[in-house]
Amino acid sequence: MKISDLNFLKQNKFSQFLTAKNLIYAAIFLGVVLRLIVYMNALPLWGDESSVMYSVFHRNYLGLLKPLDFVQMAPPGFLFFQRMMIDLFGRSEYSVRFLVFITSCGSLFLFYRLLRNLQINDVIILISIMLMSCSPQLISYTTYIKQYGIDVFIYLLVFSAYNPWTELEMTWKRIIWWSFVGILAVTFSYSGGFVIFAVGLYILIRHFRKKNYKELIRVFLVLTIIVLAFGLMYYFTVILNKNLAVQYQMYPVSFPFFKKGFVAFIKWCIKVYNELWYRSIGLDEFLLFTFFGLLGIIGLIKNKQTKIFLLFVPLLVAIFVSLPHIYPLYPGKFLLFVIPAVILVLATGIYSATQFFGPNLLVPMLFCLFLCLPMVYKTNYNKNFYDDIRKPMKYLSAQMQPTDTVYVFCGAQRTFEYYYPRYFSEQRTIIYGTRPWKPDIEKIKKHKRIWLVFSYLNDDYKLGGDREGMLNLLNDSGKVLKESVHDLASVHLYQFTKK
């Protein structure tokens, strides 16, 4: 059924403009606008972002192949691109977030192309695009300087470029194109290797069953090179990376608990399932989405569209790889790449449920808007969501005297160093704090005039307690001359009299 065939459009004077493509393009345009709003807000970098960028601007390109500082991991292609953007355009929020922004917008167009390749119903396409355009999780990752949003783009790019549901002759042009997409996938996204493996295996099996050995050999050679390249890159940048073991100690819930028994493994799978829905829509209506998900699965099977389930095979590959604890899956940011498939199943379920009211576009669209409005509302467009250390640093640069010393609280170090060239043209005396911070008290008291910079970063979610505790200890022997407090970031000037 096409949108143009629906009853409520036939006698509408605007029906000539309400074509399938126009409505879908409008939904894509809405998604781009929402992402542009977040991007243009130029939110300040926060903990994980500044941790990754710390290695990027402190190292050369070759050094980015080594384990990153602060227990961070990221694909080399992503790190190289970020380093290139800094070299060309500096450290502005727009330059370092350009890649994640442009791939987030590109994902909308690739998702539409993928749905067209799958020959999905026009109404389901429209619902799917609307849900993806308004997903608060996907919009938030538009300004998150990590590879998770890029994972979604690579996932859709591989499925769109390889189009495993259509038999394509492996010409030299297609071999070169597949190779390019494959290398791009595995260098910019760890999950891209799982997608390549799943798609390639499906294509090889199809050629084998049809005894098309000539095409099978060509596909096998191309995919073997890509998978081997991914395996080598993953081995040297992740498996041999000491940060992976540290992450397992810090976040054991990111890996399956299969060794702890079958029940623990099932509980872990349930958590992963919950994360899939939450990361897709950003809402906690578990039972509602499970209902529509089941309807979607039934609808796909009933309409003989089981080929769509291939979209979930990369997730199974990722789960298999996570069993020996060499790929983390939970928390859900590692699952973000498979979100388009979840959204497609959910959209199919919504369409199936609304068909009880007849072939009318109004009902599914109203229900879709009912979901999308709280999704858009939940998305963060507020500049003050993250701690904005830029305001205290601007105040500090204007008020600081050449002989003053600066103490940076341990949680603020990475962000402070990132923004330092923006506000200070000369070298200053800086002391970086440690955790626990109490030993720093005596170091601070040795300086006559010292500025204290605080910021709400990483695991310092109760920084207010740390800040107040430190300031109370300093107030016993020092005097506050100036201070500037901006939400969860602040700067304080203390003067101490030497005994």
**Tens digit of each residue's pLDDT (9 = 90 or more) over 187-241:** 999 899 899 989 989 988 888 888 888 888 888 888 888 888 888 888 888 777 7
The separation between the first and the last C-alpha atoms of the chain, rounded to the nearest angstrom, is 86
3-state secondary structure at position 480 = strand
Domain edge (last residue) among 351, 378, 405: 378
Per-residue pLDDT band at 246 (split at 50, 70, 90)? low
Q: What angle do CA 281, 283, 288 make, to 5 degrees?
A: 90
Domains contained in the chain, number: 2
Nearest to 169 by CA among 203, 194, 198: 203
| Co-location of 250 and 343 in the same domain | yes
| Co-location of 70 and 141 in the same domain | yes
Q: Cα separations (Å) of 292 from 18, 112, 116, 276, 346?
A: 27, 21, 22, 14, 6
In a domain, 359, yes or no: yes
| Co-location of 301 and 449 in the same domain | no
| Co-location of 167 and 279 in the same domain | yes
Q: Cα separations (Å) of 1 from 17, 41, 351, 415, 473?
A: 18, 41, 12, 53, 72
| Co-location of 364 and 402 in the same domain | no
| Co-location of 437 and 295 in the same domain | no
| Co-location of 81 and 133 in the same domain | yes
Residue 91 has pLDDT above 80, yes or no: yes
Give the domain CATH number at 489: 3.40.190
Identify the domain containing residue 130 by its residue range: 3-378
| Co-location of 335 and 452 in the same domain | no
| Co-location of 363 and 416 in the same domain | no
In a domain, 385, yes or no: no
Global pTM reads: 0.88
Please give the Cα distance from 256 to 46 (Å, whole number).
Answer: 29
Domain edge (last residue) among 327, 345, 378: 378
| Co-location of 34 and 139 in the same domain | yes
In a domain, 122, yes or no: yes
**Tens digit of each residue's pLDDT (9 = 90 or more) over 134-146:** 888 888 888 889 8
In a domain, 222, yes or no: yes
**Tens digit of each residue's pLDDT (9 = 90 or more) over 159-178:** 998 888 777 777 888 888 88
| Co-location of 354 and 399 in the same domain | no
| Co-location of 285 and 409 in the same domain | no
In a domain, 445, yes or no: yes
